[in-house]
Amino acid sequence: MKHSFYIGLCLLVCGLAGFSCSNRTGQSALQQGDTLTLRYAENLTLVNYPGYMTATLRNPWDTLKTLHTYILVPKSAPLPSDLPAGTVVRTPLSKAVIYSSVHCGLLHELGAGNAIGGVCDLKYIKLPALHEAVKQGHVVDCGDGMNPDIEQIIDLHPDAILLSPFENSGGYGRVEKLNIPIIECADYMETSALGRAEWMRFYGRLFGSAPQADSLFARVDSSYNRLKFRAALSSVRLSVVCELKNGSSWYVPGGRSTTGRLLADACSDYAFADDRHSGSVPLSFETVFEKAGDADVWLIKYNRPHDMTYADLQADFVGYTGFKAFKERRVYGCNTGKAAFYEETPFHPDRLLADLIQILHPETSNSDGLRYYQKLEEH
């Protein structure tokens, strides 16, 4: 009798377990999608479902949370009735407002430049074709990115606004009330250069240029890794310090920032490689000097009508003269007013890596000349 009872109990438990498992399988089957394999991006997940794609952006400042979820639905198809929670974006975008120069440059490269309906901070965008389009009235100048011209944006009727999010920004003001999808371009918070570049695959899907984006990224990926291997062959490992003092703070790239990882891939000893931030870190001059005053190479970026010299550097702040790289004349500058550094390097980190290798490992490089940086002249 007891034996029969136990057998019955076991069958009941197994039956319930089977029912439970069957129930879970059915639920996950309804929710299953085809995840697009991303090799490097840590803050982006793309999943294909029948009739739509989800793009989930992890919050880079609190990685246990989601920054935003987008539901990409083709304009040519009816809106599915069982969409998950998120911001619906009808694709391909055909008239978008773009806040940043780097994304304007990428869209032109992907053949989607005609989808730029408006821009912010036009003065910082070094794309002659875009300036001409604004002049002819084909693209609207929406003013300052920090305080955009809301009336211009309303009149434009864009199908999306692309902007870069910031930690504790407090939101996007009146733009958020326009009922226009805001695409938060958090690519700059990735922890590797290729991770940031891989976001082009998301942007390609927003603008109907997925094949072009996938192909371009494959080329960038291959080129970057060839260069990284070349740097690893060098027996030289120079130490590096970056950037300049800005007011009372010196913003150095965090050790987990894309710049920090680029310097690691170039096989250098970056002074702040141990830092855990994935963005820039404000430090005092004294802190930077104590940590990096003996760095072999100094890389700076600036925006001036003329190329910076050692005399300019000394005139700006006499404390710079104490750096070893200043004394030994191993300072390399990038004039972002002339070079397309910000427009190109986020999605072409291989080009920047090529510059770094020529500077840090000239003996291993088949030099084609520096693209962004050049050695400072005396005067």
| Domain positions in the chain | 34-218, 233-375
pLDDT score for 166: 86
Each residue of 18-53: pLDDT tens digit?
A: 433 333 223 333 457 899 999 999 999 999 999 999
pLDDT score for 196: 95
Could you check whether 34-218 and 233-375 share the same CATH topology? yes
Does domain 34-218 match CATH 3.40.50.1980?
A: yes
CB 245 within 8 A of CB 285: yes
Residue/partner pairs of 7-14 with CB below 8 Å, 24 or more apart: none
Where in 172-238 does DSSP place strands (E)?
182-184
Does domain 233-375 match CATH 3.40.50.620?
A: no
Q: Which are the contacts of 321, defined by CB distance < 8 A and separation ≥ 6?
A: 313, 314, 327
CB 104 within 8 A of CB 127: yes
Q: Around Cβ 47, how many Cβ atoms within 10 Å?
A: 16
Give, for 161, the enclosing helix (H) or strand (E).
strand 160-163
Low-confidence ranges of the chain (pLDDT < 70): 1-31, 365-367
Each residue of 134-163: pLDDT tens digit?
A: 999 999 999 999 899 999 999 999 999 999
